[in-house]
Structure 1
Amino acid sequence: MPDTGATMNDLHLLQQLERKVLWLSSWTIHHANHVRENRDGLKVGGHQASCASVSTLMTALYFAVLRPEDRVAVKPHASPVFHAIQYLFGRQSRERLERFRAWGGAQSYPSRTKDADDVDYSTGSVGLGVAATMFSSMIQDYVRLQGLADDGEPPARMVAVLGDAELDEGNVFEALMEGWKHDVRNLWWIIDYNRQSLDGVVNDRLFEKITGFFRAVGWEVVTLKYGKLQQQAFEGPAGGALKAWIDDCPNQLYSALTFKGGAAWREHLARDLKDADGGREFLDSHDDAALQRLMTNLAGHDMAAVLEGLRGVNSDLPHCFVAYTVKGFGLPLAGHKDNHAGLMTPDQMAGFREIMGVAEGEEWSPTAGLEADADDLMAFLRAAPFNARKPLPPAPLIDVPEIAAPAGERMSTQEAFGRILNDLSREDSDFTRRMITASPDVTVSTNLGPWVNRRRIFDRNPQPDVFREEHVASPQRWEKSPTGQHVELGIAENNLFLFLSQAGLADRQFGARLLPVGTLYDPFIARGLDALNYACYQDARFMVVATPSGVSLAPEGGAHQSVSTPLIGLGQPGLLSYEPAFADELAAIMAFGFRHMQADDGAAIYLRLSTRALAQPERELSAGERDAAVLGARWLVEPSGDAEVAVAFQGAIAAEALKAFEEIAADCPGAGLLAVTSADRLYRHWKRDGERSHVAALLGRLAPDAGLVTVIDGHPATLAWLGGVKGHATEALGVTRFGQSGDTIDLYADQGIDADAIADAAARALVRRAAR
């Protein structure tokens, strides 16, 4: 018997469960497409072939290998397999399986927030769930080395089950490089190497590139290629020639012959092995059915071979398992290059049902059609190590103090942010100990340097600051330590957002609440937008500080000037965006943000900041004014009841708005000046509360026929909707074109957001008012 760590009876039960997982996943998809009523005529879809290729791997993982503390990212197209396994564990309901891909049912792709069963990582956008396990492993190291989580228990293994085509995603390789730099541990990636993607067959010899790259970044590579039947055949007649034939067979041919079946295999092997010693004897000893079983007996479908590979790990080094599989294994779709989104027809399902021994009416039965005692099977499921998993208790909330605004006559919001963190770095409290910062190689240029000087850089292995030891003058102290609270990442925004996503889930993954803060250049949010969306979809909580922003970064030119990022903040679910103009507003918003990140109905926070220094008002915000900054806006100059016009601004354009307002107010006494700190929050509350919202109350102080001018160093649509709150005629100013190098005077004039443009817009609004 192979060294699988399983008894013969356990191996038999696992093979029976493998059949049941294959059946349930296939039936769930079939039921959604061919049995359930289709009210709108849209294709429901599903991926029966992609499920079939991982049924053995996931059966072995969940029922035999995983421990309760382990975390798993399941490839998106294997969602029905995951749900079937959870159903057998008793953690998924039949009703939700019957409503797969329907309202209230199991999700098309595993979702932490939408699914009722035990999803560790949301997947869907291929490659992101895979890379998330990398950063989850880093966060586990962090919380354990910081003493924030119990290290008396063995660390969890972060496991990703991924399709081979997911390795086409560049973010996977960006993550691998980051993992190598941070000496990542306790990480398994299991590649479903079925050699087929959505549009065709994967390139030959891809596995050589895969294994070479993984080994280059310090991973152990385990190749699971030959099943036990094949291994036995290699010892028999023509065994060496057969093995060489399999190794040399192009992917497309292997897939095509798999689909065609035993007779096709025989035709090719008879020709190609005719001169091999024992070739005829080998073929004569296998009928067509046996030949099909042998040639498709790849290790990824052989329970004993899979258990040997997975249970053979004896270190915490990261492991890559290349598991050879057949896409659609066990189905009539097996091997066909078009099977990715293919569905079995009702006739094919009827034939499959007969093969699986499932009678009509017993489709959802956990034991129907199996050659195992039902009581033994249920007992085995109850005893599976992973089934002992219990939900983590809620992590305690972190008390957030009020944050003082830094003093200064002139200051940018980026500078204010850095000074606030510098002040916080001096404190020794649970709040500051729970903060963790990260940046993709822009730590200094986003003003995180003072925080890092005091709180140090996180690294598993202590490393001194060589420049400091060599007495080279530098304001930065780049000392690395397991107790450091800053993670320095390479220039890859996807990695930043994936890191923030996992740091922002530390309370739910490891029972240790963190308050993550990440910084990057505002225009480069777009480079990591898929990962940001992924982070928010998981309900990860973090604060992303994007700076500098807009054309206000004037000399840097258009490539470094952002236009549409305020609309990203406005439109992204799970992300609450702010763009304050002044340091005292920023301090109030940051204090709120750290609390909101922990709230049951909270979200991640996006602060869009600027390097443009503004004169700071001589004031001390009252509690009501701080609340107004958090709610999204307040009147700097309240309009009179008969005001003819008002100006609303957001962010660094405040100086131009103030200058223009002086001219406007001279001609229109009673005009109002509205300082918007969050168009996002105003909009959300308006859509939710309508006339009872904060913005409706603010704009209700304007006369119904008053004109409204909005201005932002960003896309004008960010604020243009304000006119719809009370029906005010609106002139919306903002940036709609790429910028260029210059100074703010030229760029603001070019984009039509300078003081003259604001005054002119107010004049147009007055003309429109008069014409109404």
Structure 2
Amino acid sequence: MSPSSASAAARDIVSAEARERELALLAELERKVLWLASWTIHNANHIRGNEDGLKVGGHQASSASLATVMTALYFSILEPQDRVAVKPHASPIFHAIQYLLGNQSRDQLERFRGFGGAQSYPSRTKDQDDVDFSTGSVGLGAAITIMGSLARDYLKAKPWAKGLQPGRMVALVGDAELDEGNVYEALLEGWKHGLKDCWWVVDYNRQSLDAVASDRLFEKVEHLFLNMGWEVVTLKYGRLLTEAFRQPGGEALRQWIDSCPNSIYSALTYEGAAGWRRQLEADIGGERGVPELLARYDDAGLARLMTNLGGHDLGLLLDAFRAAGRDRPVCFIAYTVKGHGLPFAGHKDNHAGLMTPAQMEQFRSENRVRPGHEWDPFEGLEGSMAELERFLAGVPFRSTATRRHHPPALPVPEDFPCPKGQTMSTQEGFGKILNELAAGSSELAARIVTTSPDVTVSTNLGPWVNRRGRFSFAAQEDPFQLRRLTSPQKWGGGPEGQHIELGIAENNLFLMLGALGLTHSLMDQRLLPIGTLYDPFIQRGLDALNYACYQDARFLLVATPSGITLAPEGGAHQSIATPLIGIAQDGIAAFEPAYVDELAAIMKWGFAYMQRDKQAKSQAWEREAWVREETGGSVYLRLSTRPLAQPGRELDGDITEGIIQGGYWMRPPAPGCRLAVCYMGAVAEEAQRAAGLLAEDIPDIAVLAVTSADRLCAGWHAAEKKRQLHAVDENEATIPDSYVERLLAPLARDAALVTVLDGHPAALSWLGGVRGHRVQALGVEHFGQTGTIGDLYRYYRIDEKAIVEASLAALGRKSARARDYIAKL
């Protein structure tokens, strides 16, 4: 043997020894991870006090099926810049791994599923151990990794993001999550955009909450991914089974496993060795070589062999992960056993099952854990603590101090665009504002990225796209422009483009906004995402919108057109409940301006609000502040296609402040005023005309322009909470009134409010509770229909006649004089 050959052979020996030692250490860590996860759940259910008597839960079986996969990923494969969406029910495994890596505390584990403790499902805003993507609503965590990968691709194409590190987007997916429709919407969108560098690891344990999965489901799953351009790596058999298949009788064993129904396989897994041996002898015991093959294994060995699936073989997993390329997405279908390593492994009812105290004591004995040492990181493990500590210190995933970034905020131009015109809709004004930003060269404009589910033109994004272009990796010419065919849309594409066009799937829009709105934290590159859609179809993607907000993603959502004001389109395209969604949805500030100058002021403020970043956010309830004012959030604009005569004014500081806070007096009240008409959005003209008619008899009538019921309501509730908290302390300073309380203060105590909007009346009727005023609430409570604006406003009673009638009723005016008012209309 030549010296060079001898050297290579020596390296191979060292490499093989290092691999075997790595596998041994990983096997020990896997055992510890499963113990810690199981003990964390047990502690929460059987040891910690339970004052309300409710089952705490924690999904010991669903966690256990991913213990091997997550051990391989977090302790060997993942880099710090990789981002992972962990299957919701694997939360305890995730927390246990982070505990061993030093990112989680014992206190948090002991308070798992308790107030202030580790969360039931991974949460990037509530957990302390650096969750990348919150999960909980199944299917969404998987899908957002597709959008996250596309967001990273977008950034890679930008010259100002040269420092961006490559990284994989990884989803750990429960097989039952593949029943969710949003998964396939996202897969199709990923295919359209040439998805790369995305991994999905499917925990194929073939069990859901209520049932065992359909047989041969994996074949359908595999073909779906292949059709979407994914590489599919099926990890079905571990090394023990693979070796057994090579023996005489092994092929018969393989064929038996491949044809065994999932329900039978699960039952036998739970039954154990005696069941396996009895079934195999009955079914294939007459096949050549099978009796001898089965005789080689004692009962424990046979049970271990028959559950040696690919998702529980560390060496197989490491080889598969390391061999995967990065030029296209990869789906690993990892066969696993639900509850692997636990006494109820394979039982069809184990989804929410818990080990009994007796079973836990047996599990403790198997793991060599002494009482009182349950939380010790290295208790019961083989090998030296020093070696384990060295190994953990060298884990690639742990190689940076922080994985959360806080890039500086982008300046918002002082000369923010405010389009001028005598008559304009807020939707038109939105398009003109973006068009003016696109024509400039501000850093803010460079970081704006727009996206829309096939309604780009009809939501007035067209001018922006004409100037800034569609995003694609390869340059794409517009055939209409090349052939000089008339079209107002000049939509070529290329890496410099700043618009991502999506198909008609609102879930994908909100997931894309969620991913784009997290790039500042996940990738250290700030984007200002703007998404547009039709207002009624917020409800089609509401789960994904809530999910994006729960992540604390930052984006501007422009929903237009809205309400029954979209008259000829009919009820299917008319929104009623969205103002209430705007009020109720956490993480997003909702506005409904009537005029374009209001819209411009809100957008200018909104771009700064989206970038607020209070880094040291408390996990506890913030008692002393209106939380969102400090931490920022996303912004929702409910816009209209109805052109309104513009006020033609220059906004002063007070009006601008009022617009941002949620409202201002269009017609200020005199002291002691007894009637105020409060409107929001497209019904501005009806409200003001009605007030003009009433002013002949009620000269002190006031008109309140509400720009954000959400902001007014949130500020009021914040002030109320402060007063409640300080009510028992006589030494505390007086809590100042909220903005809406100050706004309504000039009205007489017995004054009446008439509220009106093109939406559900409850969105404004609460104003009466602020200072105890009587309210007549006008709005839309039933599905819309086709017609003219006049037809529909009259029918649904939000026209000026209805406002006058409500005003007179509020004041108790039942007279000939009242009839005269109505006659004028």
TM range (shorter): over 0.9
Q: Deviations over 1:119-161 (max 9, x none)?
A: 10011101111111111111111112112333574x1011111
- Give 3-state SS (helix, strand or coil) of 2:353's partner: coil
Matched, 1:704 2:785: no
Matched, 1:459 2:489: no
- Is the 1:579–1:609 Cα contact (8 Å) retained in structure 2? yes
Distance 2:325 2:84 in 1: 19
- Give 3-state SS (helix, strand or coil) of 2:750's partner: coil
- Is the 2:146–2:195 Cα contact (8 Å) retained in structure 1? yes
* Corresponding residue number in structure 2 for 1:597: 610
* Corresponding residue number in structure 1 for 2:137: 125
Equivalent pairs, count: 769
Task: State the Cα distance separating 1:641 from its structure 2 match.
Answer: 1.6
* Corresponding residue number in structure 2 for 1:43: 55
- Is the 1:149–1:510 Cα contact (8 Å) retained in structure 2? no
Task: State the Cα distance separating 1:389 from its structure 2 match.
Answer: 2.8
Query: What amino acid maps onto 1:535 in structure 2?
Result: A
Task: State the Cα distance separating 1:447 from its structure 2 match.
Answer: 0.2
Matched, 1:471 2:484: yes
Query: What amino acid maps onto 1:276 in structure 2?
Result: E
Distance 1:152 1:116, change over 3 A: closer
- Give 3-state SS (helix, strand or coil) of 1:611's partner: coil
Task: State the Cα distance separating 1:333 from its structure 2 match.
Answer: 1.2
- Is the 2:156–2:164 Cα contact (8 Å) retained in structure 1? no
Matched, 1:515 2:528: yes
- Give 3-state SS (helix, strand or coil) of 1:705's partner: strand
Distance 1:390 1:663 in 2: 67
Query: What amino acid maps onto 2:708 in structure 1?
Result: S
* Corresponding residue number in structure 2 for 1:84: 96
- Give 3-state SS (helix, strand or coil) of 2:705's partner: strand
Matched, 1:75 2:120: no
Distance 1:632 1:4, change over 3 A: farther
Matched, 1:694 2:707: no
* Corresponding residue number in structure 1 for 2:657: 627
When the two structures are superposed, what TM-score results if normalisation uses the length of structure 2? 0.92
Equivalent of 1:573 in 586, 592, 595: 586
* Corresponding residue number in structure 2 for 1:9: 21
Task: State the Cα distance separating 1:626 from its structure 2 match.
Answer: 1.2
* Corresponding residue number in structure 1 for 2:209: 198
Q: Deviations over 1:625-672 (max 9, x none)?
A: 111111110001111123221100000011111111111211211010
Distance 2:467 2:512 in 1: 22
- Is the 1:729–1:769 Cα contact (8 Å) retained in structure 2? no
- Give 3-state SS (helix, strand or coil) of 1:195's partner: coil
Distance 2:16 2:482 in 1: 52
Distance 1:199 1:93 in 2: 34
Task: State the Cα distance separating 1:68 from its structure 2 match.
Answer: 1.6
Matched, 1:660 2:690: yes
When the two structures are superposed, what TM-score results if normalisation uses the length of structure 1? 0.98
Distance 1:16 1:268 in 2: 32
Structure 2 gap ranges (5+): 1-11, 614-630, 721-735, 816-825
* Corresponding residue number in structure 2 for 1:582: 595
Matched, 1:382 2:398: no
Distance 1:634 1:686 in 2: 15
* Corresponding residue number in structure 2 for 1:55: 67
Runs of 4+ in 1 over 6 A off after TM superposition: 1-5
Q: How does 1:176-575 map to 2 (within 5 A)?
A: 176-391=187-402, 392-402=404-414, 403-575=416-588
Distance 1:4 1:687, change over 3 A: farther
Deviates more, 1:125-134 or 1:622-631: 622-631
Equivalent of 1:614 in 644, 652, 674: 644
Distance 2:92 2:302 in 1: 30
Distance 1:570 1:718 in 2: 8
* Corresponding residue number in structure 2 for 1:639: 669
Q: Deviations over 1:678-714 (max 9, x none)?
A: 0000011111124511111110010111111000100
Query: What amino acid maps onto 2:633 in structure 1?
Result: A
Deviates more, 1:401-410 or 1:234-243: 401-410
- Is the 2:65–2:205 Cα contact (8 Å) retained in structure 1? yes
- Is the 2:164–2:523 Cα contact (8 Å) retained in structure 1? no
Task: State the Cα distance separating 1:472 from its structure 2 match.
Answer: 1.6
Distance 1:249 1:365 in 2: 41
Query: What amino acid maps onto 2:375 in structure 1?
Result: W
Distance 1:5 1:412 in 2: 72
Task: State the Cα distance separating 1:374 from its structure 2 match.
Answer: 1.1
- Is the 1:4–1:307 Cα contact (8 Å) retained in structure 2? no
Distance 1:664 1:695 in 2: 24
* Corresponding residue number in structure 1 for 2:155: 143
- Give 3-state SS (helix, strand or coil) of 1:644's partner: strand
Query: What amino acid maps onto 1:26 in structure 2?
Result: S
Distance 2:486 2:218 in 1: 48
- Is the 1:497–1:535 Cα contact (8 Å) retained in structure 2? yes
- Give 3-state SS (helix, strand or coil) of 1:450's partner: helix
- Is the 1:734–1:753 Cα contact (8 Å) retained in structure 2? yes
Distance 2:687 2:79 in 1: 60
Distance 2:40 2:701 in 1: 63
Deviates more, 1:320-329 or 1:610-619: 610-619
Distance 2:406 2:813 in 1: 56
Deviates more, 1:348-357 or 1:562-571: 348-357
Task: State the Cα distance separating 1:203 from its structure 2 match.
Answer: 0.7
Matched, 1:743 2:753: no
Distance 1:692 1:638 in 2: 19
Distance 1:141 1:671, change over 3 A: same
- Give 3-state SS (helix, strand or coil) of 1:361's partner: coil
- Is the 1:94–1:364 Cα contact (8 Å) retained in structure 2? yes
- Give 3-state SS (helix, strand or coil) of 1:645's partner: strand
Distance 1:209 1:506 in 2: 34
Distance 2:261 2:164 in 1: 49
- Give 3-state SS (helix, strand or coil) of 1:673's partner: strand
Query: What amino acid maps onto 1:750 in structure 2?
Result: Y
Distance 1:5 1:573, change over 3 A: farther
- Give 3-state SS (helix, strand or coil) of 2:541's partner: helix
- Is the 1:685–1:694 Cα contact (8 Å) retained in structure 2? yes
Query: What amino acid maps onto 1:722 in structure 2?
Result: L
Q: Deviations over 1:370-404 (max 9, x none)?
A: 12211111110000111113325420110001423
Distance 2:450 2:654 in 1: 30
Query: What amino acid maps onto 2:499 in structure 1?
Result: H
Q: Deviations over 1:438-467 (max 9, x none)?
A: 000000000000000010001122111112
* Corresponding residue number in structure 2 for 1:674: 704
- Is the 2:507–2:544 Cα contact (8 Å) retained in structure 1? yes
Distance 2:697 2:255 in 1: 90
Distance 1:251 1:669 in 2: 79
Name the Cα RMSD after superposition: 1.5
Q: Deviations over 1:595-630 (max 9, x none)?
A: 000112101000000001111112111122111111
Deviates more, 1:172-181 or 1:400-409: 400-409
Task: State the Cα distance separating 1:6 from its structure 2 match.
Answer: 5.7
Query: What amino acid maps onto 2:244 in structure 1?
Result: A
